[in-house]
Amino acid sequence: MKRNLAYVLLLMLAAVASCSFTNKNFENDDKDKLLLDLITYVLEKGHYEPKSLNDDFSVHVFEDFIDVIDPTKRYFLASDIAEFEKYKYQIDDEIKNTDITFFNVVHERLIQRMNDAKEIYKEVLETPFDYSENESISIKYDEEPFAANREELKERWRKQLKYATLGTYDSKISKIENGEVDGAEGDDSKVAKTPKEAEEASRKSTEATLDEFFDFVGDLERKDWFVQYINTIVDEFDPHTFYFAPEEKEKFDTSMSGKFEGIGARLQKKPEGAKIVEIISGGPVWRDQRLEVGDEIIKVGQNGEEPINIVGMRLDDAIKLIKGAQGTVVDLTVRKVDGSLDVVSLTRDVVELEESYAKSANIIKGQEKFGIINLPKFYVDFNDYSERNAATDVAKEVERLKEEGMEGLILDLRDNGGGSLKTVVEMAGLFIKDGPIVQVRSKDKGKDVYDDKDERIQWDGPLVILVNELSASASEILAAAMQDYKRAVVIGSKQTFGKGTVQNVIPLNNMLRSNEHGDLGAIKITTQKFYRINGGSTQLEGVKSDIIVPDRYSYIDLGERDQSNPLGWDKITPADYKPWDGYIDYEKTIADSKKRMANSPQIKLIEENAKWLKAEQDETEISLNYDTYKEEKIKDKEQSDYFKKLTDYDSKLTFQSLGYEEELFTKDSVLREKRNRWHKNLAKDVYVEEAVNVLEDLKMNNIKQGKLASVKN
């Protein structure tokens, strides 16, 4: 019998909490040690696949913590690392004994080396950069050794600062060549009129940026660095297990409620900057359209002020610079996916919740009418399921589309990062009679099968599901179930994101009888894995599309497999299910689609673009010679402009809002503008065009068999 997921989790967490009262006393007066003790206990008792605290674990924590706090190797010397080495195999023992000696030693030396770095960058920036010299810098920092001495470290800083200054220098030279005024209006002291002055002004700009950076870092307290150490330990378990310090827990709660204040993007730390890994529907980034997944933010400026370079900065600190009050402006210097640099100014805002909800449109092709539903995430109000949720909204849109005469349906799950498991089960039930949808397994327990028990079918006509590399979690459950039932054709990337795990948040204060240290924050911990009804996990492998269509991310690692310490793929016994009626000729439909794709000039251009982007990302040796830099920049610009014709594509399909929305437009011009923009983008979307072609094929197959019950005559 299916059990309610929330109830199962509640029982599991209650068991963990009760264990803390009966089997373990947390009486450490040192808050840091108490925190370490609490978290490691919860990980041991509650994590789906707890790690053994042994020498291998110790080595990973050692290497990862050093990498987190000095990713570009511009602080520590090789002698520091050699000194730290004596702790390399002892961290596991320290954790067991609630000892934080390793952290204390590294933190103390880091502060010392950061103070040294302030002197070094000042010295470096006193000397002009020679941009006629033929030299380069490797940005593959993980392959570089630590500097042997101060002289070698200074040389590393020189190259890094020359690289950081090169873009500013180029901008000033371009303004001189174009006769533009550089600097504040009416302030001749800031105007660079010659290459020499441009070089000097660029160095001054870089120095001002570093001054601000070190002022910012200088405000960090020891507890901020300790949280980073704790999360290094936590991250060894899997990429979705995370410790929230009290203020971060508050932000997490806010985000879960659907209110995202900032720019509306999720970031991942990279040595070269903060990489955009998800764009939140309705946010400033989403509305602006100039940034995309894979872009890396390297500098952050506040409303026209000198930007701060965030390369090498802790991700939490970079995010603090990027976030801000609603209505304020942030200037982001970005290295685009194609390698070009751009400055994008965004006005911070609260994400519009409405854009996270399901929306639909009619697709007109000749005398045929199809429907498309876009679902950005599987949303739900956990406090009141009867409130608006993804399953009931999609059901409404399906019914509205049926009333307007759709002959086939496209469910667009591209960029959908998941959400509520309950809504997935209910949504899948809209398209099948009944049966299992997903299997869930908890730590050291058997599996639970989540079924659709409602025999009603909302839509039994042709169905296509669109996915890409960023379709994750709940999206993968739905796509996998429809694929296993042979109910829908899945079109998209070679595979989806590959997140097959379930997390839960545990407040650490709940683990204590009494607490004199105030709020201790919470830990988000992986407690379960889910599996397809055929028994296979979606972890790492994701869902493989029936019809693979290349996109610009085809050769770039963006999925779970690119995260740190992901759980592995495995399988369990299949659930008891029967595939769909079998009247759809999948093999012929897929074969016909592949033929169309092979002959499509737009698809060939997309493939070409994807390969170029991969080559650009693999280029880690950067020339510091200005003439070479300019030549490469021009080539990149030409290539980037060449691929811009991708956006000129016209599918010749017509998209129309449904009747109920047309009525709303008379009172809501903003909604009309949003829908017009969406329809314009859909008309350029070759994936939607191919989905319509597949629906036509499925419709023909169904009509021949006399099975298309849902289409109006």
DSSP for 107-156, written as a single string: HHHHHHHHHHHHHHHHHHTTS---TTS--EEE--GGGSPPBSSHHHHHHH
Kind of pairing, strands 547-548 and 621-623? unpaired
Asked if residue 490 lies in contact with residue 543, where contact means CB atoms within 8 angstroms, the answer is yes
Of 226, 290, 234, nearest in space to 640 by CA? 290
Burial class (CB in 10 A: 0-12, 13-18, 19+), 431: buried
Instruction: At 413, list the tokens.
Output: 């799950």
Amino acid at position 630, single letter: K
What average pLDDT does range 177-195 have in this prediction? 63
Beta bridge partners of 412: 374, 466
Asked if residue 690 lies in contact with residue 590, where contact means CB atoms within 8 angstroms, the answer is no
- SS3 call for 356: helix
Amino acid at position 321, single letter: L
The per-residue pLDDT for 2 is 36
Q: What is the pLDDT of residues 290-318, one digit of tens each?
A: 888 888 898 898 877 778 888 877 777 78
The per-residue pLDDT for 406 is 97
Comparing 171-185, 233-247, 625-639, 670-684, the range with the smallest average pLDDT is 171-185
What's the CA gap between 690 and 465, in Å, rounded?
11
The per-residue pLDDT for 289 is 83
CB atoms within 10 A of CB 485: 22
What's the CA gap between 3 and 321, in Å, rounded?
44
What's the CA gap between 573 and 418, in Å, rounded?
24
Phi and psi at residue 298, to the nearest 5°: -115, -20
Residue 342 confidence class, pLDDT cut points 50, 70, 90: confident
What's the CA gap between 360 and 403, in Å, rounded?
13
Q: Which contacts (CB < 8 Å, 24+ apart) does range 665-674 have?
A: 674/355
What's the CA gap between 512 and 26, in Å, rounded?
7
Phi and psi at residue 188, to the nearest 5°: -65, -25
Asked if residue 589 lies in contact with residue 701, where contact means CB atoms within 8 angstroms, the answer is yes
Asked if residue 622 lies in contact with residue 136, where contact means CB atoms within 8 angstroms, the answer is yes
Distances from the Cα of 294 to the Cαs of 313, 382, 633, 682, in angstroms? 18, 31, 19, 22
Residue 252 confidence class, pLDDT cut points 50, 70, 90: very low
What average pLDDT does range 119-136 have in this prediction? 96
Beta-strand runs (E) in 573-665: 621-623, 654-656
The per-residue pLDDT for 18 is 38
Q: How far is CA 169 from the centre of its chain?
A: 32
Residue 553 confidence class, pLDDT cut points 50, 70, 90: confident
Q: Is the pLDDT of residue 239 over 90?
A: yes
Q: Is the pLDDT of residue 6 over 60?
A: no
Q: What is the pLDDT of residues 403-439, one digit of tens each?
A: 999 999 999 999 999 888 889 999 999 999 999 999 9
What's the CA gap between 642 and 469, in Å, rounded?
24
What's the CA gap between 235 and 241, in Å, rounded?
6
Angle CA 345–557–346, to nearest 5 = 10
Report the share of the chain in percent with pLDDT over 70.
Answer: 88
Q: Is the pLDDT of residue 186 over 60?
A: no
The per-residue pLDDT for 271 is 66
Distances from the Cα of 470 to the Cαs of 284, 467, 528, 543, in angstroms? 19, 8, 21, 11
Beta bridge partners of 505: 524
What's the CA gap between 651 and 689, in Å, rounded?
6
What's the CA gap between 207 and 197, in Å, rounded?
15
The per-residue pLDDT for 655 is 97
Global pTM?
0.82
Phi and psi at residue 187, to the nearest 5°: -110, 90
Amino acid at position 34, single letter: L
Of 208, 325, 174, nearest in space to 263 by CA? 325
Phi and psi at residue 347, to the nearest 5°: -95, 120
Instruction: At 343, list the tokens.
Output: 């400055």
More confident residue, 333 or 147: 147
More confident residue, 142 or 370: 370
The per-residue pLDDT for 702 is 60
Comparing 87-96, 122-131, 577-586, 700-709, the range with the smallest average pLDDT is 700-709
